Amino acid sequence: MSAARNVAVILVLAAAVAFIPGGGTTAAVAGAVLSTLILVSLVVFVGRLYRDHRLDLDMLGDRWRALLYGAVAVIVLAMAARPRLRDQGDAGTIVWIALLAGAAYTIYLVWRHHREYG
What is the count of structural domains for the chain? 2
Residues 73 and 57 in one domain: yes
User: For the CA atoms of 48, 50, 56, 60, what is the dihedral angle to 10 degrees?
Assistant: 160
27: Cβ contacts below 8 Å, ≥ 6 apart: 17
Residues 88 and 37 in one domain: no
Residue type, 3: A
Residues 47 and 78 in one domain: no
Residues 110 and 94 in one domain: yes
CB atoms within 10 A of CB 23: 15
Domain of 112 in residue numbering reads as 53-118
State if pTM tops 0.95. no
Question: In tens digits, what is the pLDDT along the chain, a chain of 118 residues?
Answer: 889 999 999 898 888 888 888 777 888 888 899 999 999 999 999 999 999 999 989 999 999 999 999 999 999 999 999 999 989 989 999 999 999 999 999 999 999 999 998 6
Residues 79 and 102 in one domain: yes
